[in-house]
Chains A and B, each alone.
Chain A
Amino acid sequence: MESIVSFCFAILVAPLLSAIILKVKAFIAGRKGPPLLIKYYTLAKLFKKGSVYSTSSSFVFKLGPVVSFCSVVMVLLFFPLAGIKPLLSFHGDVIILLYLMGLGRFFTIIAALDTASPFEGMGAAREAYFSTLAEATLFVILLLFYRLNGSFSFAAFFTGPAAINLWSPTASLLLLVIVALFIVLLTENSRVPVDDPATHLELTMIHEVMILDHSGPDLALIELGASLKLFFYSAFITCLLYPFQLDNGYLNGLIFYALMGLIYVLVGITESIMARYKMDLVPKFILTSFALVFFAAILTMEFVQ
């Protein structure tokens, strides 16, 4: 029961958290910024509208938003939020979940190519390219975690006595992992310095340009999916920061969402103080995350038997 509540709460609250980034950016720029509920207003507006479809597109274009949304929801179903057991979990679920995210990406990319727009093709190529690099980092993190506590599912990584977090003896390695995961978060969610969601030139976009032709409820699904994806990566980092093993579930939840908020603020600050990298610098940025976690994995050879 508590798993269902926590899952539903996460879905409901994800758009609010995304708005924190906008607020922080506005604050640093000295503006008032949009209201915190902006994402809900946008979603409500989009759900009410109809759509215009390009004459070039086929059924794949309509499939894209649905598949990518479903894949993120699947991942959240398997993820322990605030120390609460997830709705579903089994030994080995991490691999199928990462691959389901890959399925979502596959459909986002081909939906973009379906519009026959050169701009969307450009975005699709970049998305495909950068995600191959980020995926390698994620798999090194998995094998590192497997070596640390011998488990193979999100629930076993972050709950129970052998949970992986900064309060365990292997914390020094996890510092590297957290930095790497933050880089992956920025990459996979199209944030500055990899991609600038607020840019005005289609040529410089990655994710935003891929969804140019989507409108109405389709676009709403994409927006909600994007919020959930950001939520997932932030929750991943949050679980590494703190064990959430207090007896009081509410207190756990409170700390969890406070830390989540902190990460969103951090994303906002990163976006405010950095510019987007030149496209050819982005792979090097992502590979930094790979180097960090690979180094962490090598370190385990000496002191994790």
Chain B
Amino acid sequence: MDTFFLSLAVILCGGVLPLLVHRQFTVMKAGSCVVVAAGCLLGLFPALSVLLQQGVAARVSLPWLHIFTLSFQMDSISAFFLLPIFIISPLAMFYSFHYMEKKEQSFRTAINYFFNAILIVSMALVACADNIPTFALAWEIMSVSSYFLVVHDFQNKETRQAGYLYFIFAQGGAMLLFAAFALIYSYTGDFAFAGFAAIPDSAKLVVFILAFLGFGSKAGIFPLHIWLPYAHPAAPSHISAIMSGVMIKMGIYGIIRIYALLGVPSMVFGQIVLIVGMATGVLGVVCALGNQDVKKLLAYSSVENIGIILIGLGVGMIGVATKTEAMAFFGFAGAFMHVLNHSIFKSLLFMGAGAVLHKAKTRSIDQLGGLMKRMPVTGRTFLVGSLAISGLPPFSGFIGEFLIYYGSFQGIHLQRTAFILSALAIISLAVIGGLATACFTKLVGLAFLGEPRTEKAAQAGEAGLSMKLTMILLALACLLIGVLPEPFVRLAFRGITDLQPAGAYNPAAFIELLRNISKTAAFFIALFLLVSLLRKGLYWRKEVGAGPTWGCGFTRPTVRMQYTGTSYAASMIDFYRPFVPVKTFYTGIRKIFPGQTIYYTEVLDIAENKIHEMIIKPFFHLLQMLRWIQHGNIHLYIAYIVAAIIVMLLLL
């Protein structure tokens, strides 16, 4: 644990350093990156050593403010969640070296780096907290520091609104968590996590639901995900990468932790998590498909992937409840694997989107196009990230999804509810997979391929060196995990060892299967190279011409005739219409020689709509009626305070 705290101290130094030397812009950025990266590397050691040597769970306690004890413990679950924190965060900072280019905003960049370091430290502390005050403290620091990172461009009104929305969801979620903790405390009278299992079963369900909603609002479960599509586009891209790749996983970590601590093998928990996961996954990907803003699309895709992770967790929990060991093991292991994979490819995609935004100055798919030729490295790495996130072999996304499939298939031999739920998990995974393919073919095909739709896109150039290097590294990681999954899956297996009773299963037979997958992937790549070579041979000494695209008889095509994101997704969105309402505005054509007409469509988020309609509006109405309390007379306010104190004294 000493190394762990040392690494956190180093990361903090890396955060404070830019505040001191912000006048030297380049030095500041480079210095901060190096120090933070060193700290993260240092932090990887204790995490890996806990993971690799089974059963080593370090614990540290220190007193704080005379009342509380801060207590930390690193078991295999914490150690596994530390991996994305310590791997993705420094890469994102390295990426920001060329991304944060505005020299005149030197101090603001320094503050961004400072809060970034705080965020990394607080996430690591969340993963290791071992009692209620420690967890609450770390959780709040994490929420607040990420809030400041989101509002980096605070002059922009939309950014401020996004930050506000994020803040409300973060604090609302925290309140639910505190309610859950308070309920536990009322039974145990003790702050330690270890006592959670002692509370009565009826209370456990309430605690779990409260905590699930609280953590879910951070992770982005449906319908509490609505802050994601606002906060991610508003934040700078390396921050989106960290928040989407790493921070929302802390919500997942919280769900796993509370499940492990409560320790009830009840079917209800698994059912809740699985059903919410399926809804989150399918609706997330449909919303992603309907959105034309690159970063918003990626944010919804994060919602979808949280859904996949929750499906894995739900399958695991049902496995525990029905005592199907293999189902429990592979469900949880798949969820863990997908956490790691998603942190890699989602941060890669956000970085790619950042590069596009940086160079083409727009986030709208319908204004991009043809970037593959103008940004070869960004385009190719983005393609790899898209293949990985669609869960296609031989890339990393497939491995996590395969584990979850495998776990779900173990549930097919069960009876009744468990069978139906396993079947639904498989079907929803298949549907999510298909829709994710549609979604990312749209993103790659329309933003990076074809012809540029606007002048801005045509003028775009390649991203800076540090951005390119980071993206190449992450893309290679996607391919590596896809082709050689064994060591990484073993890490995930180790990660769930402390998640009893799921961790007790012996997956020896599965390792054989993994090797076969790895061989299949290698074989496919070999076949691909062979056929490519064959194709080269077929074209040897042959005439290869170039010409315009066949316009089906039309001779004057323009770039604006290309298919747009809206048209690409239209029929699919239509299929899911009750769940994804579409707002359309069309002025129509009136005169014989029509003037300018306007056609506007937007895919709405049903959760956002309903929450606005059913909660916020009535709530506002209520508050409107209570406005007379706020009249501005100070002496009356003082009277309120006195009255409140008297009432309190009388009651307590």
Interface of B is mostly: helix
Interface locus among A50-58, A246-254, A259-267? A50-58
How far is it, in angstroms, between the C-alpha of A48 and the C-alpha of B258 when the chains are bound? 65
> Which of B513, B568, B575 interacts with A124 by CB under 8 Å?
B568
Q: Are A114 and B450 in contact (CB under 8 A)?
A: yes
- Can you name the residue of chain A whose Cβ is closest to the Cβ of B439? A128
Please indicate the chain A residues that have their CB under 8 angstroms from the CB of B390 in the complex: 102, 106
Q: Are A129 and B438 in contact (CB under 8 A)?
A: yes
Closest residue of chain B to A92 (Cβ to Cβ) is B513
Interface residues of A in 59-102 (CB under 8 A from B): 59-60, 62, 65-67, 69-71, 73-74, 88, 90-93, 95-96, 99-100, 102
Interface residue? A140 (CB, 8 A)? yes
A140→B430 CA distance, assembly (Å): 9
B567 touching A66, Cβ below 8 Å: no
Q: Which residues of B contact A113 (CB under 8 A)?
A: 441, 444-446, 449-450, 563
Shortest beta-carbon distance from B385 to chain A in Å: 13
From B444, B570, B571, name the one whose CB has the most chain A CB atoms within 10 angstroms. B571
Chain A nearest Cβ from B103, distance in angstroms: 34
Contacts of B430 in A (CB 8 A): 135-136, 138-139
B423 within 8 A of A: yes
Distance (whole angstroms) from the CB of B462 to the closest CB of chain A: 14
CB distance from A20 to the nearest CB of B (A): 26
Tell me whether A122 and B563 are in contact (CB under 8 A): yes
Residues of A within 8 A of B545 (CB): 50-53
Contact call B383/A140, Cβ cutoff below 8 A: no
A301 touches B419 (CB 8 A): yes
- Closest Cβ of chain A to B454, distance in Å, is 14
CA of A150 to CA of B522 in the docked complex: distance in angstroms? Answer: 27
Quick check: is B637 within 8 A (CB to CB) of the other chain?
no
B63 on the A face (CB < 8 A): no
Q: How many chain A residues have a CB neighbour from B under 8 Å?
A: 80
CA distance A116 to B551 in the complex (A): 10
Complex CA gap A119/B549 in Å reads 11
| Contact call A99/B563, Cβ cutoff below 8 A | no
Query: Binary interface profile of B, 390-423, with partner A (CB < 8 Å = 1, else 0)?
Result: 1111000010001001100100110110011011
Residues of chain B within 8 A (CB-CB) of A95 are 402, 405-406
Asked whether, in the complex, the Cβ of A55 is within 8 Å of the Cβ of B444, the reply is: no
Q: Which residue of A lies closest to B390 (CB)?
A: A106
List the one stretch of A23-31, A182-190, A191-199, A210-218 in contact with chain B.
Answer: A210-218
A119-B415 CB under 8 A given contacts A66-B532, A217-B539: no
Q: Is the CB of A301 within 8 A of B398?
A: no
Contacts of A132 in B (CB 8 A): 431, 434-435, 437-438, 572
* Interface flag for B535 (CB, 8 Å): yes
Among B546, B563, B568, the one with the most A-chain Cβ atoms within 10 Å of its Cβ is B563
**Pick from A128, A142, A218: contact of B441, CB under 8 Å:** A128
> How far does the alpha carbon of A218 sit from the alpha carbon of B539 in the complex, in Å?
10
User: Which one of B413, B531, B561, B562 contacts A66 once the chains associate, using CB atoms below 8 Å?
Assistant: B531
Q: Which residues from A are CB-within-8-Å of B567?
A: 121-122, 125
Out of B372, B527, B557, name the residue touching A73 (CB < 8 Å).
B527
In this assembly, does B480 line the interface, its C-beta being within 8 Å of a C-beta of chain A? no
**Contacts A132-B431, A146-B412 given: A212-B550 contact, CB under 8 Å?**
yes
Known: A50-B545, A100-B524. A135 touches B445 (CB 8 A): no
CB-CB under 8 A from A59, the residues of chain B are 372
16 contacts across the A-B interface (CB closer than 8 A) = A66-B532, A69-B531, A70-B524, A71-B524, A91-B513, A92-B513, A102-B437, A106-B441, A110-B445, A113-B563, A115-B450, A116-B549, A116-B559, A128-B437, A128-B441, A140-B423
What 7 pairs between A and B have smallest CB-CB spacing?
A121-B563, A113-B445, A132-B434, A116-B450, A139-B430, A128-B438, A50-B542
Known: A114-B449, A124-B441, A132-B572. 19 other contacts (CB 8 A): A54-B549, A54-B550, A55-B549, A56-B370, A66-B528, A88-B520, A106-B392, A113-B563, A119-B552, A122-B567, A124-B568, A125-B563, A125-B569, A125-B570, A132-B438, A133-B434, A135-B430, A147-B419, A216-B538
Residues of B participating in the A interface, judged by any CB pair closer than 8 Å? 369-370, 372-373, 383, 387, 390-393, 398, 402, 405-406, 409, 412-413, 415-416, 419-420, 422-423, 426-427, 429-431, 433-435, 437-438, 440-442, 444-446, 449-451, 512-513, 516-517, 520, 523-524, 527-528, 531-532, 535, 538-539, 542-552, 557, 559, 561-563, 567-572, 575
